[in-house]
Amino acid sequence: MGPVQGRIDIDNVVRPAAVAGLALVGDAVLNGGLDDALKRYRARHHAELGPHQALIAEGSKARPPSNTERMLLSAAAKDERLAERFHLYASRTRAA
- Residue 85: domain span: 31-90
Q: Does residue 75 fall inside a structural domain?
A: yes
Q: What is the pLDDT of residue 23?
A: 67
The pLDDT, as a whole number, for residue 19 is: 77
Task: Quote the pLDDT of residue 75.
Answer: 96
- The model's pTM: 0.50
Question: Residues near 17 by Cβ (< 8 Å), separated by ≥ 6?
Answer: 25, 41, 42, 45, 46
Residues 20/74, Cβ–Cβ less than 8 Å: no
Distance CA 39, CA 44 (A): 9
Residue 24 in domain: no
| Torsion of Cα atoms, 55 then 69 then 86 then 42, to 10° | -20
Does residue 14 fall inside a structural domain? Answer: no
Predicted local distance difference test score (pLDDT) of residue 82: 94
> Which neighbouring-strand residues pair with 22?
19
Per-residue pLDDT in tens (0 to 9) along the chain, 96 residues: 788 777 778 888 877 777 777 766 654 455 667 778 788 888 888 888 888 888 888 888 878 888 988 999 999 999 999 999 988 888 877 765
